[in-house]
Every structure is written in C-alpha cells, then in structure tokens.
Chains A and B, each alone.
Chain A
Amino acid sequence: MTDKKPDPRRPDETFEPFEETRRIPWPVYSIAIALAIWGVIMLVQTSTAVEVADKTQKEVAKEDSTKLAQAAAPDLDAGKTLFADNCATCHGDAGEGVAGAFPPLHGSDVVKLGGAKAVTHIVMRGIGGKLNVNGDGYEGQMPAFGSVLSDTEISEIASYVATGLNDDAKTISAPEVADIRKVAGDKDPFDGGAGLAGLINDLPAQPNSEAADQGADSERVARLVGQGTDTVWACASCHGDKGEGIETVPRLAGLPAPYLAKQLHDFQRGTRFNDSMAYVAKGLSDREIGELANYYASMSSPSGAKPALQGDLKRGAQLAKQGDWSIGVPACFTCHGPSGVGVAPNFPGIAAQQPSYVAHQLAMWAGGSRHNSPLGLMAGIGKALNDSDRRAVADYLASLAPMPAMDKTELAAMESNIPVREGVDQ
C-alpha cells in the first residue's frame, strides 16, 4: 500500500473519516454568519417597508373614518392644504389673485355672494370666458376639478375658500357636494360670468357670453371618432368616448391641435412608431387630420387618469414644479406651462395624462424609439430620469386637473410654424 501511489480521483478509505472528524473550516462559519446577518438585515428592511405601508394604510383608513364621522363639519385645515396644492399656483397663496390674469378669491364678490355652494360648482366644473370679479375683467381658463377631487376634498376646499379666505359663516358638507355632483358633475365649464348668473343671485353685471356657436362637428369627423371606416378604426374605441385615454392610450382632449396634427402626420410618415396608430393614420386624409385635431383640441372632458404606478408623489411633484437640476432636468412645467396645461402649439398639456402612457413615452425617449420631439428636447429628459422617477412624475401628473379645452376661434388662427428637424434625436 505504501509504495502504491493513491489514485488521486478515488478517495481511499481513510479519507472520509478524516474529513468527517475535521472541524468545520472557519470560512464556512463566516459564510454562514455573513449570510445570517444579511438575511436578518433584509428581513428587517422588508418588515419596516411593510410596516410603513401598513401604517399609511391605517392612516388612510383612520382619515377616512374620521372624515366620515365629521361629514357635517369639513376639516378647514385639510382645506387649506388642498388649496395650497391645487389652487395657489393660479390664485396665489392667500387667494389674492394676479392682476389681469387670475381673479382673487379673498374678498371676491363672486365668493361672497355665492358662498361655498357656488365655489363648489365652479371647482367641480371649471370656468372659462369673460368674467367680472370686483369690477375687474378677466378672461382665463380654470380647469375642472370634479374628476380629480373627491366630494370630501371639494367640501374642504370650498369651505376653506368661503370661511377661511372670506368671512362667510357657512361651510358645505361632503354629502351636499355629492348632491351637486349628481346634477352638475358632467356639465361643461361655466361660460364666464354669464354662466354664473343662474347660480348666484344679485351678481353684479357680467359681460355677455361670447361662446361662439360650436356648431355640429362635421359628420365625417363624428363617424371617424364614433364608428370608424373600413380603413380607420374608431378613435373612441381606444381613446375613449371623451378622448380621456386609458392606460397606454393617451388622453387627446384639450391637447393643442397643431401638436395632435403633427403626431398624426408623424405616425403616417413613420417618424413616430406605433403599429395601431400607423395603421389608423395611414387611412386619414390631411383634411381629416386637421378636423380630428381640432375636434379633440376643443373637447372638454374630465380626467380619466389616476395615479397607478406606485410612484412617489412627492418626488413627482418636485420634478414637475422644480425639476432636478442635479440630473439636468428643469421643471416639467417650465416647458409644459404652469399646472401642466401646455403651451400651444408645440408643448402638449401633460396634466391628467394617463400615467402608464407618460411613463411609457418617457422610457421610449430614453431608449430612442420616440424621437420626433423638437430639438430632441424630451430625449434628454427621458434619459435623465430613472424608472422610479418616471413612475413618480407620471403618477403626480395623473393627480392633476385636466387642461381646459382650447377655444375654437383661437384654434383657427393657430398653426405650428416651427422648424422641426425630422427624426433627429439630439
């Protein structure tokens, strides 16, 4: 045996016991310990995450129940916070308004005479066109918040505006708001001061309504939208009856007509890719494209979007309002306009856009598969955002009130006159 060299492949009989009685080598111990530590840390991490989630859920539940309990007495502090988040960008932190652009809410004769009830109607439906407040004329567009704020939230805001910003004593409760929603919820925005006349008694003289007769939309457009033709699928079957979109199908209502027309031409030409839309757009004539673009641009419809991607809304709000310059991203609203309502003709509104669509488009810009934006502006932005930023900002935008419809008379005068380098990415 001793002179025979052991076969290195076959362990001899002494090998096994020798290995078995050996103490476990220290690296094995360290691996086990390290893995154990890792495991424990991971456990703690996930359990805190679960805890946080649980806690927020409980808080929400608690909030809901306390809200229910206090249905009669709206929470004015909550109203103040909601006001800061939803109204202050236009009407100012203290409701002081902006001379010539946004009417005041503090000391407004409309609020004083109409009280929380009138404010509820206005917040729910929005208002556009000529309006006099305290004798000063305004002609702006306020979005409709009916589709993005709950009855409780509207009751809190309206009560805060009536009693906190003004000295009215009467608040409005969530059930009362719900009743108003039943009768007025789907109505179009008020047509300026003239539209308010029926709602508020003794309102000082208001300018005449100028709403141009919107006229029946051409039969051809109605058919394209509603039924489609042999070569064109009905737009509404994907984009919704009110052009509000769903999931990765975008909201079209209220987007600038020149922007919409350009997108349809780009689908036709293949400079923007999407199989369904390429098929649809190829069946459209230039004239139909123009008419469809105007149709959707002047459509006023509620928001069909809700945060759905578990995005961090605070981060989303930061990106939208301040940007993150450390990654080279200015506020979305510097280009898409305050409140994200867009700047015609080249900057589409992004408020109330479908979150899955927004996140998807941002990813497509990052990956280079959408590359038809002027100067490649969105490519840089899409690339700078990571996945969680995209979800955060998409969800935040989905929580905003939809952009108001564009005025038909203005539409006619507007056209995209800006040179665009076709298909240039950067």
Chain B
Amino acid sequence: MSNKHPSDIPPRGETKSSRGQTVLRAILAVGGGLVLVVLGSLLVDFGLAPSWLTGATRDQSEAETAAAQSGGDGKQAALFQPPAESTIPDDDFGKSVRRGMAIFNDTGTNAHDFVGNDLSCSNCHLDAGRQAYSAPMWAAYPVYPKYRGKNKMVNTMEDRIKGCFTYSMNAQGSPSGGPPPYGSDVYRDLQAYFFWMSKGLPTGEKPEGAGFGKIDKPAQEPSRQRGEEVFAQNCAVCHGADGQGQKDINGKVVFPPLWGPHSFNWGAGMHKVDAAAAFIKHNMPLSEPNKLSVQEAWDVAAFVDSHPRPNDPRQIGDVTVKDAFDKWHHKHQGFYGKEVDGELMGPGYPSGDQASVPAQNENSGG
C-alpha cells in the first residue's frame, strides 16, 4: 500500500476500507475469471488445450478412439498411427509405394496373373492394410525376417507375402498358375508400401494391434448350427445368404465370398476357426466391430470354415487329404479332413493346371 497514490488510502475508518477491499476483490475475481475464459477459449480455438480438458475431441485422440473401436478388447494401449496417404512422396520411391497400395487394394486387377480367386489383400487386411487387429502391414513389416516354426526357416517379408498369394489368394487357380516368382516387382512394390507405412516403428518389436488380436475361449464348443443363425442375421446381407459375396452391375466384387471356389483355399490362415473367430470378432460385421459376443464369433467362424473351398495347394498329385491332414493340418483347429454333413472337407474343386505349386515354401497361414 505504501507505494500507492495518496488518494488510494482510505480516508475513513475500517468499514470504509473493508468495503473498498470487497469491491477490489470482486473486480479482481471477475476480471481474473474473464481473463481465464478468454485465454482458455483462445487455447481451445487453437487446439493447444490438453484433450482431457476439452473432452477428447476427434483429432486429438484418434488413437484412443481407434483402439476403442477396433477390438482392443478394452485395452487402452496407444496404437501406432500409420502415415496419411497424402504423405507418400512424389518421387520414384513414392510411385512404387502407390503401385504397392494399388496391388493391395485391388489385387485381381493390379496383380492379375497371380490371383486365383475373387479376393484382394485388403479384404482381410482392412483399410488398405492399416487397420489394427486385422493383421495390419505396419505391424508386420518391422518383425521380418522372422523364423517360423511352421516351415522351419527364416521367412523374409517376400516369403510371407508369397504365402498369402499361395493360400489366401489361391494362386494355383490364377492365370500364371502360381504366386509371383521371387524377385517379382509385385513383391518390390508391396514391400515399399509396407515399409513406407511402418515409418517410425522400432524393428524387431511386435507392436500393439498386430495380427487379429486375442479372443477368449468360448464358453461352449463352437456350434455350426448356432453359427448358421448368427450368419443369417449378421452376415448374409453383405456376403449373401450363400456366402458367395456380391458384385455390382459391372461385375466388380463388392462383398467378398467367404467360401466356395472363389474364396481362399484350405491352406489359408483364415480356414482355421480360431484365426477366423478373432478376425470376425474384431472386424465383422463391417463397421460394427465387437458387436458379436465371443461365443457368436466362434460359432459363426465354425459355420464359415465348414464349407467346401479350393484345395490346399500342397495336397496335389498322390497326396491325399488324409496325408495333408497328418502332415500339415492335425494341429489346426479346423474342419480340414473332417466330414461335414457327410461331405469330406478338403478335396477342393477339379481345376486345370495345378502343377506349378511353390515347392520351396510350405508356409501356411497366409
């Protein structure tokens, strides 16, 4: 008070001064409040406010939302966000990335010679291979080359992609009769795409969101009968009552077939009920992940995977379904080699040229 103007000093007794103080306090409080409001609104306007204050708006918490929506099963671990398409560079490397993306999203058109069914990579690896818990490519790229007990060798990324061509894309039925040969530009471009997508992730560490995510064991044995009902209610509108998918007026596949001659073959990872259940739980019905209960996901997976589909390409010539079962399928949770309603699962469809099956690589699970 000492350095104040003389007239600041209340000329009268205590009451006066306390009243002056009350007014001062009121002005201080209101003024301070207003300043805070103004500053606060400016901060919010410029997106500088912490998200816990603003109630986690969309841009600021993409990671959390994505985790919540896509089958993290309540896990709140931050998910890696792959870079936006707009950041693909405008140079020769970028061109390769774009070609890789085009192959991934419309494989039948852009890698026509090596595709023997109606599927594209992005049918199982959603959002152009970016969606967590649908085996995203950003989560795969940093962990290859990797030793896989399944074929007892170190698999490069090329080996792994070849696996998905051989089985998931049923390359045996393609115009060339097999997957792209080693060194093909198809692998080069796809790997450029994956590499670009995983920028910033440490190598050798499996990130959260990899694979299809975990699914709990079902309370009851998976049942085809219950699965059929789940299918009719939740899947048929898109995949068709007969599971054969749907095409548009120009014959372009919109909803992919889940079984039958134009779907993945008996060597593909998706034929295993546990893999399909995890995929379905976290990704289907499309746009409504985690809608199905754990039991429903297992039941419908069992229903989908107990229908005929193209043969396991390793089961050719003298190799019978029983041989193939003993050699490659006995540990799998699936219907391969079993009888469903009196029909043996596995022989596939009589098809033309099956000679050029990859000999080097018995990599299942693609």
Residues on A lying within 8 angstroms of B by beta carbon are: 2, 5-6, 8, 14, 18, 21-23, 25-28, 30-31, 34-35, 37-38, 41, 90, 92-93, 98-102, 140-141, 322-323, 325-330, 334-335, 337-338, 341-344, 346-347, 374-377, 380-381, 386, 404, 406, 417-421
Contact = CB atoms under 8 A, between A and B. Distances in A.
B32 A27 contact: yes
Best-buried of B10, B109, B247 by chain A (most CB within 10 Å): B109
26 contacts: A18-B11, A21-B5, A22-B5, A23-B8, A27-B30, A27-B31, A34-B34, A34-B38, A41-B42, A93-B102, A99-B112, A100-B251, A101-B252, A322-B85, A325-B127, A328-B289, A330-B287, A334-B286, A335-B238, A335-B254, A341-B248, A343-B248, A343-B254, A377-B288, A418-B241, A420-B237
A30 to B, nearest CB: 5
B357 to A, nearest CB: 24
Contact of B28 (A18, A25, A90, A386): A25
Contact of A327 (B34, B58, B252, B286): B58
Nearest to A386: B58
Interface in B27-65: 27-28, 30-32, 34-35, 38-39, 41-42, 58, 62, 65
A412 to B, nearest CB: 16
Nearest to A329: B287
B19 interface: yes
A338 B248 contact: yes
Interface in B4-18: 5, 7-8, 10-13, 15-16
Given A322-B127, A346-B237, 9 more contacts: A21-B5, A22-B5, A22-B8, A34-B35, A101-B250, A322-B85, A325-B130, A334-B254, A406-B249
Contacts of A346: 237
Nearest to A27: B31
Nearest to B7: A21
Best-buried of B32, B130, B237 by chain A (most CB within 10 Å): B237
Interface stretch (B166-174, B193-201, B228-236): B228-236
B154 interface: no
Contacts of B19: 8
B252 A374 contact: no
Given A30-B35, A35-B38, A343 B130 contact: no
A35 B35 CA distance: 8
Given A326-B62, A377-B288, A101 B251 contact: yes
B66 A326 contact: yes
Contacts of A326: 58, 62, 65-66, 81
A329 to B, nearest CB: 7
B265 interface: no
A8 B15 CA distance: 9
A31 B31 contact: yes
A375 B15 contact: no
6 closest cross-chain pairs (CB), A and B: A27-B31, A326-B62, A337-B248, A34-B38, A140-B250, A328-B69
Nearest to A41: B42
B237 A18 contact: no
Nearest to B32: A27
A141 B20 CA distance: 84
B16 A6 contact: yes
A342 B241 CA distance: 18
Contacts of A323: 127
Majority SS of interface residues in chain A? mixed
B15 A6 contact: yes
Contacts of A26: 31
B287 A377 contact: yes
Best-buried of A26, A99, A343, A421 by chain B (most CB within 10 Å): A343
B7 A18 contact: yes
A347 B255 CA distance: 11
A342 B28 contact: no
B131 interface: yes
Interface of B: 5, 7-8, 10-13, 15-16, 19-20, 24, 27-28, 30-32, 34-35, 38-39, 41-42, 58, 62, 65-66, 69-70, 81, 85, 102, 109, 112, 126-128, 130-131, 232-234, 236-238, 241, 246-252, 254-255, 285-289
Nearest to A25: B27
B250 A421 contact: no
A25 B288 CA distance: 58
A43 to B, nearest CB: 14
Contacts of B287: 328-330, 335, 377, 380-381
A381 B287 CA distance: 8
Nearest to B10: A18
B128 A28 contact: no
A341 B249 contact: yes
Nearest to A140: B250
Given A101-B251, A343-B254, A404-B249, A25 B31 contact: yes
A25 B15 CA distance: 20
Contacts of A31: 31, 34-35, 38
Contacts of A418: 236-237, 241
Given A327-B65, A330-B286, A377-B287, A22 B7 contact: yes
B81 to A, nearest CB: 8
Best-buried of A2, A27, A322, A341 by chain B (most CB within 10 Å): A27
Nearest to B6: A21
A101 B251 CA distance: 6
B291 to A, nearest CB: 8
A330 B235 CA distance: 16
A342 B105 CA distance: 19
Given A25-B27, A35-B38, A90 B250 contact: yes
A328 B67 CA distance: 10
Contacts of A38: 38, 41-42
Contacts of B102: 93
A375 B109 contact: no
A52 B34 CA distance: 32
Contacts of A375: 234, 237, 285, 288
Nearest to B234: A375
A141 B35 contact: no
B258 to A, nearest CB: 16
A343 B288 contact: no
A30 B15 contact: no
A335 B246 CA distance: 10
Best-buried of B7, B81, B112 by chain A (most CB within 10 Å): B7
A21 B66 CA distance: 61
